Structure 1
C-alpha cells in the first residue's frame, strides 16, 4: 500500500477545498482500502457551505467528501474474504453518513476506506472512469426499488422471473433513473419510463418497454396507456418536479400506489402528506441507507459482480472525463452545477 495519502479537504462550512496530506488509512473489520483511480461527482457534493447545517448537520470538519469510487484494493481488514489485494473494484464511499462521519471514508483522496459490502469487483474490460459512474446512482435506485420502507420489490437476479406488473421510472435519463430501469428489469418487471425524446432510444436500450416525453401536455394519459392493463408495482420519481405527475399516475393506475421520490426535501414531505389524501404513499429516498440493511450486500455482493461480468448490466450513464487529479475535482463540481444530461462527470486520480 502507498506510504503516503493526499486528500481534497473541505476545511469548514463555506470554505474552499484544499489539497493536502491525509493519514494513510488502515482497514477495520469488514472494510477495505482502495487506491482511487477515478471518482464521479454528484449534486450532493456541490452543497454550498451553509447547506451542511440543514442537509448533513452532523458532519465534522475538516472533512473529505465524495461517494463514487473506482480503483484497486490495496488492503483488506478482518472478516473480508470476498475481496483481495490488487482486485479492480467500484465502491460507494459513505464518509459523510451520520453513522460513519470520518474523512477516511470520503471518495476525494488517493486512499479511501470502503465498507466491503458496498464494493463490487469489476471486469477487466470496464475502465475505472466508466465504473465510477455507478455507486451513488446505483445505490439510490436500489434503495427506492427494494428497501421495505420504499417500494419493497423482490431483489434483482441474473436470471429474473418475469412478473406480470410494471414499474414506472420518472426521469429515466438521469443517472439514478437509468440504473432504476436496469434494476427493475433485473427484478423481472416491465418498465415504463419518462425522458426527453433525444434519450428515448438510450432508455429503451437498457430495458424500458415504453418511454414517454415527460414534457408532454398529456404525459399522464400517455403513461397510463403505456402501462395498459398490467398492475403498477410502484413508481420511482427522480428530479425536481417529478413527484406531482408521478403521484397522479399512481393514483389513477391499478396496482400499488407507492411512489419513491429521489428528491428528498421539505417540499417532498409536504407533497407526501398531500398524496396520502389521494391514497398514494410517498417516501423520500436516501441512497446510502442500504449500507445498513440487506439491500446493500444483495446489490454489491450478490448481484452486480456477475451482472457486470456477463454484460447483463451496463455501467451507465456515459462517463465524461473533465479532469485529472484532485485539484480538478472543484472544477468538475462547477461544471455539474451548470447542468448535465445523459452523462456523468468523472475525474481520474
Structure 2
C-alpha cells in the first residue's frame, strides 16, 4: 500500500503528484489516513510566492482530518480508527507532517477528536484559525473565554475586527461577542447579514472608499483592541489610520508583512503565529480546552458557526487549481478537497 502526495519540487513551481512511502509514526506520534484537506490562504503564498524558505522537494499543507491509522509506542490518548482533525504547528516542515498527502504523521499536540455524527470537513475548516483566535485573544492578550452554557455578562471593552467574513475574522466575532465584548467589524454587503448574525454590534461596509471606511470605523470607536484579520497592505493602511486617530499604538495582524507597508509613526504591527501561545506551558489547560471542549462542543451545540464550505474536485491533482483560487481571492467560504479522489 503506497502513499500519494502533491509535492512542490522547487520554489514557485507547480505541484506534482507522486507515489511515496507510508511513514512510520514515532513513539509520540500518530499516523492519520487523511480524508479531508482544508486549505489556508497563506499556503498559496508559500507555494507560489516562496515566502517561506523550504527544503525542496516539499509537501505543504497544515490542516486536515481523517482516521487514526497507527499509533506510536508511547501514545495513550488515541485509538486506531478514531476520527480526528489536526492543525500542524507553524514552522514544522518535515514532509511527513504536510497535509497534501493521503497518509500524514501528527508530530505535535494540536489534535482534536471528532464526534461520529459530525462531518470531518467542518472541524477541519475551523481548526487552524480557531486555535489562532483563542491563542491571540486569551492565550496572548488574556481576554475571557466565551461560555458554552449561555451568554456572558456584557463588558465595556470594544474591539475592532477588520474583515469579519474571513475565516479568522468570523471566528473572532463569535468568540469575542460570546465572551461579552462589543465587536465592531467590516464586511462586504454580500456577507453583511451573515457576519451580523455572528454577534457583531456593528458591521461596516469595507467596499467603501478608503476615507469613508476610516470615518465610519472611527465613529464607532475608540477601540480597546484593533485586529486586522486580512493584513494586506491596503487593509493595514486603513486599520493603522484608525489607530492613529485614537492615539493607539499596537495593530494586531494575522499574517506577516509580505511586502512594503507604510505605517504611521507610533504604530507597531504585531504578528506571530497566533496558535503558538497555546503551546506554552502556562497555556496547556487552554490548549486542552480548545481541542477537547470548545471545538467539539461548539460544533455540536451550534455555538461555533463555520463559513460555507466549497469542495474543489480533483483531489491531490486539483491542489494547483485550489491554490490558484486562493491567489485570486475567496471571501466568505472555506476550500477543501478529498485526497482520495
TM-score (norm: length of structure 2): 0.84
Structure 1 residues 16-55: aligned runs within 5 Å:
16-47=14-45, 51-52=49-50, 55=51
Closer, same or farther: CA 310–81 of 1 in aligned 2, 3 Å: farther
- Contact 2:163 2:229 (C-alpha < 8 Å) held by counterparts: yes
- 2:72 equivalent to 1:85: no
- Contact 2:6 2:317 (C-alpha < 8 Å) held by counterparts: yes
Structure 1 residues 63-212: aligned runs within 5 Å:
63-77=58-72, 80-94=75-89, 97-98=90-91, 100-115=92-107, 117-148=109-140, 151-159=141-149, 161-162=152-153, 163-212=155-204
Q: What is the SS of the residue equivalent to 2:318?
A: helix
Q: Per-residue deviation at 1:193?
A: 0.6
Q: Per-residue deviation at 1:156?
A: 4.3
Q: What is the SS of the residue equivalent to 1:42?
A: coil
Q: What is the SS of the residue equivalent to 1:25?
A: coil
Q: What is the SS of the residue equivalent to 1:198?
A: helix
Closer, same or farther: CA 194–42 of 1 in aligned 2, 3 Å: same
State the alpha-carbon separation in 2 of the partners of residues 324 and 296 from structure 1: 34
- Contact 2:133 2:275 (C-alpha < 8 Å) held by counterparts: no
Q: What is the SS of the residue equivalent to 1:108?
A: coil
Question: RMSD over aligned Cα, in angstroms?
Answer: 2.8
**Which residue of 2 is the match for residue 215 of structure 1?**
207
Of the structure 1 ranges 317-326 and 128-137, higher mean CA displacement relative to structure 2 is found in: 128-137
- 2:256 equivalent to 1:264: yes
State the alpha-carbon separation in 2 of the partners of residues 78 and 25 from structure 1: 15
Q: 1:299 aligns with which of 255, 273, 290?
A: 290
TM-score (norm: length of structure 1): 0.82
Closer, same or farther: CA 76–16 of 1 in aligned 2, 3 Å: same
Q: 1:311 aligns with which of 280, 296, 302?
A: 302
State the alpha-carbon separation in 1 of the partners of residues 302 and 328 from structure 2: 32
Q: Per-residue deviation at 1:211?
A: 0.6
Of the structure 1 ranges 303-312 and 280-289, higher mean CA displacement relative to structure 2 is found in: 280-289
Q: What is the SS of the residue equivalent to 1:282?
A: strand
- Contact 2:36 2:124 (C-alpha < 8 Å) held by counterparts: yes
Q: Per-residue deviation at 1:49?
A: 5.9
Q: 2:311 aligns with which of 321, 325, 329?
A: 321
| CA offset digits 1:246-282 (Å, max 9, x no partner) | 233334459x7532112411557762xx35x2xx443
Q: Per-residue deviation at 1:308?
A: 1.9
- Contact 2:88 2:108 (C-alpha < 8 Å) held by counterparts: no
Closer, same or farther: CA 210–48 of 1 in aligned 2, 3 Å: closer
Q: Per-residue deviation at 1:238?
A: 2.2
**Which residue of 1 is the match for residue 321 of structure 2?**
331
Q: Per-residue deviation at 1:13?
A: 1.9
Q: Per-residue deviation at 1:157?
A: 4.5
How many pairs were matched up? 329
Q: What is the SS of the residue equivalent to 1:61?
A: coil
State the alpha-carbon separation in 2 of the partners of residues 152 and 109 from structure 1: 37
**Which residue of 1 is the match for residue 271 of structure 2?**
284
Q: What is the SS of the residue equivalent to 1:235?
A: strand
Q: 1:243 aligns with which of 232, 236, 240?
A: 236
**Which residue of 1 is the match for residue 52 of structure 2?**
56
Q: Per-residue deviation at 1:23?
A: 2.8
Q: What is the SS of the residue equivalent to 1:200?
A: helix
Q: What is the SS of the residue equivalent to 2:125?
A: coil
State the alpha-carbon separation in 1 of the partners of residues 258 and 320 from structure 2: 28
